Chain A
Amino acid sequence: MRVRFGLIVMLAMAIPQAVWAHAMLMKAEPAVGSSVISAPAQLILHYSEGVEPRFTTVVVHDAVGARMDSDNLQTAVGDPKTLVIGLKALKPGDYSVDWHVTSVDTHKTQGHFSFTVAP
């Protein structure tokens, strides 16, 4: 039993295969919880793994719940780990971001954060 377990583990580690994982948010522009002076024209999200934009949603709302993104989510050119979505003209105030991401190996992750526009 112990030998069999050891073999399974060794085989698992030895199989040459691309390493994927759950996509975790590593950085956002505007930054998570930040206050920015000028209204950003787009929101950029950097993940730890490549993401599949067809099965991913990112939505930006203002303080009263109006949708403020342009619904044009896409990955950055040549960078499947980075998502870009356009923003409508943001007035001073608080904005919330909700994201649900499917990584290229189909793992799903989600999160939400806010940022503030305060000229």
Chain B
Amino acid sequence: MFKISHVAFAAAALSAAASPAFAHAIAGDRVFPVTLTLDDPGVADEVTLPQVVFQPGAGPSTQTQFQWEFDKRITPSTALIYNQGFDILTATGSKRATGFENPVITGKWQVYMNAEHEFIASLGIQRELPGDLDTKAIGGDAQGATIPTAYFGKGLGDLPIGVLRPLAVTGELSYVIPDRPVNTANDNGGTPRSLKGGLSVQYSLPYLQSQVKDYGLPGFINQLVPLAEMSYVTPMGAPSGNAPMQLAFGAGAIWLGPQYQVGAELLIPGNKAAGSNIGFIVQVHFFLDDILPNSLGKPIFQ
């Protein structure tokens, strides 16, 4: 029989590739859309509702996640972000497991923006709150973690070759400090410290149409941003074989509208620890600073 605890472990591995959704940012001529599996580099007033992740795991297990996020700017360059989700974990021969994911609260500070070179950098502290037994059953943590994170985004609009100017890269790097680090005997129920990272490569057709050359493409096409994403988690100091490195890729596109965006990607495991089947992620994200510019969409302190 395929035990649900094994499924939970697989789910935890797969979840690393599909962390909560995040916000968009603007630097000069560049609009960085909301990437699906990693955070983007800026701060904004926004809501993700919902993000749905479907991941067939290794063996007869399947994980479905319904996630949401609320981003609230405190000042024009700082924000508090709340992420959570509800997961359904199924496996042949086992009882279905359901539960809420660990809530994550992030404090984020956009420390630098260079409009001319389309560059943004931010720093953040994520605080993953402890979960309950249901959270643990779906692959979450009974303990919490603190996660210092650095973010960047760079548009390539300053390249001399026109067709390459719509390209942009964004990334993040995090160090996960669990409340209860695993001990050398691996018998204290802890989790290892880990290094998490993500990278996206984007090609903005809105940028192509409005900054480089208007090819007269249909309006829907002109608002697409095809992109590829990569995310990984590398445990550090874990007992041998306890927690292997996980690598995953995403490939898809984002439709970037004036008040909201819709994104969809295939989720492709990059190594055995990240699973063996292709999943997908779909996200609907609303820009509150555009929808409600005079209330929820503006910083609390200007």
Contacts and interface: CB of A to CB of B under 8 A. Distances in A.
Interface of A: 1-2, 5, 8-9, 12-13, 15, 17, 19-22, 24-28, 31-34, 48-49, 105-107, 109-113
B92 interface: no
B104 interface: no
28 contacts: A1-B103, A2-B84, A2-B100, A5-B68, A9-B47, A9-B49, A12-B292, A15-B292, A17-B292, A19-B291, A22-B26, A22-B290, A24-B206, A24-B210, A26-B219, A28-B210, A32-B210, A32-B212, A33-B162, A33-B212, A49-B258, A105-B294, A106-B293, A110-B28, A110-B29, A111-B29, A112-B29, A113-B211
Given A21-B258, A109-B26, A110-B28, A26 B210 contact: yes
B177 interface: no
A97 to B, nearest CB: 10
B22 interface: no
A15 B295 contact: yes
Contacts of A49: 258
A1 to B, nearest CB: 7
A113 B29 CA distance: 10
Nearest to A6: B68
Given A12-B291, A12-B292, A19-B259, A5 B210 contact: no
Most buried by B among A2, A12, A17: A12
B296 interface: yes
Contacts of A5: 68, 70, 82
Nearest to A12: B296
Interface residues of B, number: 36
A111 B210 contact: yes
Contacts of A110: 28-29, 115
Given A5-B70, A15-B295, 8 more contacts: A2-B100, A12-B292, A20-B290, A24-B31, A28-B210, A32-B210, A34-B214, A112-B211
A27 B29 CA distance: 15
Interface of B: 26, 28-29, 31, 47, 49, 68, 70, 82, 84, 100, 103, 115, 162, 206, 209-214, 216, 219, 258-259, 286-296
A10 B100 CA distance: 20
A25 B210 contact: yes
Contacts of A106: 293
B211 A107 contact: no
Contacts of B212: 32-33, 113
Contacts of A28: 210, 214
Contacts of B293: 20, 105-107
B240 to A, nearest CB: 39
Contacts of B70: 5, 8-9
A22 B295 CA distance: 16
Most buried by A among B26, B28, B291: B291
Contact of A22 (B103, B258, B286, B288): B258
Contacts of A31: 214, 216
Nearest to B296: A12
A21 B292 contact: no
Contacts of B219: 26
A17 B214 CA distance: 33
A9 B84 CA distance: 14
Contacts of A26: 210, 219
B258 A32 contact: no
A112 B206 CA distance: 13
